[in-house]
Amino acid sequence: DAMVIQNPRYQVTQFGKPVTLSCSQTLNHNVMYWYQQKSSQAPKLLFHYYDKDFNNEADTPDNFQSRRPNTSFCFLDIRSPGLGDAAMYLCATSGSRKNIQYFGAGTRLSVL
């Protein structure tokens, strides 16, 4: 089945130690999104790629970076994780029906 896959499902890192979360998709969608979701809060868009064009949200901290080496893969890099970065990170894609996004199961990040 075509889908959006996030790895790992759970990630534990130390305060200040760089971490990379990955997302892959078999939907061949041209748009990929990264969201941060903290407990009982709305998913918050960090950035998205429209093909190779990177679009950062104005309030996304510089600590968060992203790479999209090809259509299928997208990475979220957190350069120096702080305790406040502990959250669920969701990857999503959209294609021809741009308003409808398809989500992966998420990566839950813990920062010790």
Q: Which of these segments, 11-19, 68-76, 78-86, 98-106, binds other proteins (CB under 8 A)?
A: 98-106
59: left (phi over 0), alpha (psi -120 to 50) or beta: alpha
Distance in angstroms (rounded) separating the CA atoms of residues 88 and 85: 9
Q: Note whether 74 and 62 are within 8 A (CB).
A: no
Distance in angstroms (rounded) separating the CA atoms of residues 87 and 34: 12
Name which of 12 and 18 has its Cβ closer to other proteins.
Answer: 12
Name which of 75 and 103 has its Cβ closer to other proteins.
Answer: 103
Name which of 6 and 24 has its Cβ closer to other proteins.
Answer: 6
Question: Regarding beta strands 87-94 and 102-103, do their DSSP bridges make them parallel or antiparallel, or are they unpaired?
Answer: antiparallel
Closest approach, Cβ 80 to other proteins, in A, equals 27
DSSP state letters, 19-48? EEEEEEESS--SEEEEEEE-TTS--EEEEE
**70 lines the binding site for other proteins (CB under 8 A):** no
Binding mask 40-69 for other proteins (x = CB under 8 A): xxxxxx--x-x--x-x--------------
Residues that bind other proteins (CB under 8 A): 4, 6, 31, 40-45, 48, 50, 53, 55, 90, 92, 94, 98-106
